[in-house]
Amino acid sequence: MKLLQRSIAVALAGASLAVASAQLEGDKINTKPTSHPVPSIQDTETKAQRDARMQWWREARFGMFIHWGLYSIPAGSWNGKQVPGVGEWIMNNASIPVADYKALAPKFNPTAFNAHDIVALAKSAGMKYIVITSKHHDGFAMFDSKANKFNIVDATPYHRDPIRELAEECRKQGIKLGFYYSQDQDWTYPGGAAYKTGDHKPPKYHWDKAQDGDYATYLHEKAIPQMKELLTNYGDAPAVIWFDTPTDDMTPKLAGEIVALLNKYPKLIWNNRLGGTYMGDTETPEQYIPANGYPGKDWESCMTMNDTWGFKSDDTNFKSTETLLRNLIDIASKGGNYLLNIGPDSMGRVPAPESERLHAMGKWLDVNGEAIYGTTPTLFGDEAGSFSRTEKGKDGKPKFIASWKWRSTTKADKVYIEIFEWPADGVFHLDKLPRQVSGAYLLADKSHRALKTTRSGNGLDVQLPSMALDPIATVLVLKTSKS
Ligand code: FHN
């Protein structure tokens, strides 16, 4: 296995094959024969079928990612030392032997976990779906698994299945539930893949003999049986399967075996990280918002609130509510979804800075959600920023310099302008008008009092009140001709 491919996980998924080249032509999405050993739903469905399958997800715009597992016990430190890196990687980053890591399970008793409250938190934040780590790279299943005993029901004193409790609550509270599953990396089962860290040696980058074994056997004995359990034991969940960190161990043939299973669930949505040349449904930029989104594609930026996915007791570097809300608006204006992470602690509690920010975001969405959910991207385009002529980004390409004055989202007969920087002269000016405007008001103004609009060149001036109605973003609604 080549180091490069082990290290650039997402690039590997993104670089996959020419199957998608003919996507979205005419009625069939794929007009060219696929070279996949097992054609996936994306290879065979029509555009109309794809649109119907993706509809709820496209309208949702905002979801909760939950990274929760045994790693919340060490919470970033091992043998009294802080371990650099994200919390859920502690086993790999600190080269913890398999037996020592597995010894965490008898100490895991998260009695403060409350599925009702977590689902209610997601709902109060205005989130429309949840994706939880059912098994992360450490190989520990957060669900009742007959396929492998290293799971929360069999290996811990807790003996409960939080995935089942969440699935029931999501059903009751009317929100979709998806499962993250680390199909490729598994650091505690023989043959599971491992990314390189520090001085871990090729070809497998294992740090404990107990990890050595055959990758296909791992897939057949553990990963595929567990995925079957996840797909069959939880009622209408999962709505989403969120794969992660593909390596080139995942050949097209092996991935095809997983796809054959996924194909049995025709409503299922899955991301672009399965590997084996499958592209899935969604692009998954991680910890960034692409300058122009992915025009014509479904995409989801996943991001942490601080600098870790799994709980780390010393990570208090939380983004402000303002940043998080701007991210959501920015992403929606580019046609994507925001999958924002929480990392519960070893008792199952959501850190207070995370729930506080989620409640604050929900308050904004209670008033302004109409400008986010079910919208399509901006009709303008330059407001998000521009590429620098002189500065280069990490990838050597011109750096994107974001502008934070306003964003725009669209519906059939409305254009929403989310104003971050209130104009000093009280006049909001648009240089161009993609549609005819028949009226304007502020979404946060319950009376929808009409604002004065004046044509100005090819664009429009809107007379605003002297002060913003919301310190983070005030939404101006333009009533427009139909698209
Ligand atoms: O290695 C993981 C990481 O721990 C985390 O789960 C993120 C979430 O997208 N995915 C991987 C890195 O790309």
Residue 9 has pLDDT above 80, yes or no: no
Q: Ligand 1 mean position to 195 CA, how many Å? A: 11
Give per-residue pLDDT as tens, 175-220: 999 999 999 999 999 999 999 998 999 999 999 999 999 999 999 9
| Mean pLDDT of all residues belonging to the chain | 93
Please tell me the predicted confidence (pLDDT) of residue 364.
98
Three-state DSSP class for residue 78: strand
Report the DSSP pairing between strands 337-342 and 298-303: parallel
**Helices in 334-445 by DSSP H: which ranges?**
352-368
Pocket test for ligand 1, best of 286, 288, 315 (most atoms within 8 A of CB): 286
Residue 27 confidence class, pLDDT cut points 50, 70, 90 = low
Which uninterrupted H or E stretch holds 44? helix 41-44
The second-level CATH assignment, the architecture, of 3-371 is Alpha-Beta Barrel (3.20)
Residue 20 has pLDDT above 60, yes or no: no
Distance of alpha carbon 169 from alpha carbon 174, whole angstroms? 8
Q: Work out which ligand 1 atom sits closest to the CA atom of 89.
A: 4
Residue 127 has pLDDT above 80, yes or no: yes
Q: Work out which ligand 1 atom sits closest to the CA atom of 185.
A: 1
DSSP string for residues in 189-211: STT-B----TTPPTTT--SSGGG
Give per-residue pLDDT as tens, 29-76: 555 567 899 999 999 999 999 999 999 999 999 999 999 999 999 999
Residue 25 has pLDDT above 80, yes or no: no
Residue 21 has pLDDT above 60, yes or no: no
Please tell me the predicted confidence (pLDDT) of residue 1.
35
Please tell me the predicted confidence (pLDDT) of residue 472.
98
Q: Ligand 1 mean position to 352 CA, how many Å? A: 23
Residue 224, CA distances (Å) to 40, 145, 181, 189, 220 in order: 16, 12, 11, 13, 6
Atom 6 of ligand 1 has which residue's CA nearest to it?
A: 309
Give per-residue pLDDT as tens, 270-306: 999 999 999 999 999 999 999 999 999 999 999 999 9
Q: Work out which ligand 1 atom sits closest to the CA atom of 136.
A: 6
Q: Work out which ligand 1 atom sits closest to the CA atom of 242.
A: 9
Residue 454 has pLDDT above 70, yes or no: yes
Please tell me the predicted confidence (pLDDT) of residue 30.
54
CB distance 179 to 229 below 8 Å: no
Distance of alpha carbon 397 from alpha carbon 217, whole angstroms? 42
Classify domain 382-482 at the CATH topology level.
Immunoglobulin-like (2.60.40)
Residue 12 has pLDDT above 70, yes or no: no
Q: Ligand 1 mean position to 116 CA, how many Å? A: 26
Please tell me the predicted confidence (pLDDT) of residue 33.
60
Q: Work out which ligand 1 atom sits closest to the CA atom of 273.
A: 13
CB distance 274 to 250 below 8 Å: yes
Pocket test for ligand 1, best of 245, 271, 301 (most atoms within 8 A of CB): 245
Residue whose tokens read 């004046």? 454
Residue 244 has pLDDT above 60, yes or no: yes
Q: Of residues 319 and 18, which shows the higher confidence score?
A: 319
Q: Ligand 1 mean position to 447 CA, how many Å? A: 45
Contacts of 475 (CB under 8 A, 6+ apart): 368, 371, 416, 417, 418, 419, 442, 443, 444
Contacts of 304 (CB under 8 A, 6+ apart): 287, 341, 343
Residue 10 has pLDDT above 80, yes or no: no
Residues at CB less than 6 angstroms from ligand 1:
9-10, 86, 88-89, 244-245, 286, 302, 309
Q: Ligand 1 mean position to 44 CA, how many Å? A: 29
Contacts of 111 (CB under 8 A, 6+ apart): 158, 347, 348
Q: Ligand 1 mean position to 8 CA, how many Å? A: 12
Please tell me the predicted confidence (pLDDT) of residue 34.
72
Q: Ligand 1 mean position to 309 CA, how many Å? A: 8
Residue 265 has pLDDT above 60, yes or no: yes
Q: Average pLDDT in the 371-387 region?
A: 96
Contacts of 232 (CB under 8 A, 6+ apart): none
Domain regions of the chain by residue span: 3-371, 382-482
Q: Average pLDDT in the 397-412 region?
A: 95
Give per-residue pLDDT as tens, 84-96: 999 999 999 999 9
Q: Ligand 1 mean position to 244 CA, how many Å? A: 7
Please tell me the predicted confidence (pLDDT) of residue 115.
98
